[in-house]
Chain A
Amino acid sequence: EPEVTQTPSHQVTQMGQEVILRCVPISNHLYFYWYRQILGQKVEFLVSFYNNEISEKSEIFDDQFSVERPDGSNFTLKIRSTKLEDSAMYFCAQTSSRYNEQFFGPGTRLTVL
Chain B
Amino acid sequence: EDQVTQSPEALRLQEGESSSLNCSYTVSGLRGLFWYRQDPGKGPEFLFTLYSAGEEKEKERLKATLTKKESFLHITAPKPEDSATYLCAVQAPSNTGKLIFGQGTTLQVKP
- To the question of whether A and B form a pair in one complex, the answer is yes
Interface positions of A (Cβ within 8 A of B): 1, 4, 31, 33, 35, 41-45, 48, 50, 55-56, 89, 91, 93, 95, 98-107, 109
Partner of A1, one of B34, B45, B87: B45
Minimum C-beta distance from A53 to chain B (A): 11
What is the interface of chain B, defined by CB distance below 8 A to chain A?
Answer: 31-32, 34, 36, 41-46, 49, 87, 89, 91, 94-104
Q: Please tell me if the beta carbons of A1 and B46 are within 8 angstroms of each other in the complex.
A: yes
B98 touches which one: A1, A33, A104, A107 (CB < 8 A)?
A33
Verify A4–B43 contact, CB threshold 8 A: yes
The 8 Å CB contact of B42, one of A1, A99, A103, A106, is: A106
Q: Are A48 and B96 in contact (CB under 8 A)?
A: yes
Whether A91 lies near B98 (C-beta < 8 A) is no
- Complex: how many Å from CA A4 to CA B49? 19
A109 to B40 alpha-carbon distance, docked (Å): 12
A100 touches B49 (CB 8 A): yes
| Inter-chain contact B98/A48, CB cutoff 8 Å | yes
Which 10 pairs, one residue from A and one from B, show the smallest C-beta to C-beta distance? A98-B97, A104-B43, A56-B96, A48-B96, A43-B101, A55-B96, A42-B103, A45-B98, A104-B44, A101-B46
Asked if residues A45 and B32 are in contact (CB atoms below 8 Å), the reply is no
Rounded to whole Å, the gap between the CB of B37 and the closest CB of chain A is 11
| Chain B residues within 8 Å of A109, by CB | 41
Q: Give A52 to B49 CA distance when docked, in angstroms.
A: 27
Q: Shortest Cβ distance from B6 into chain A, in angstroms?
A: 9
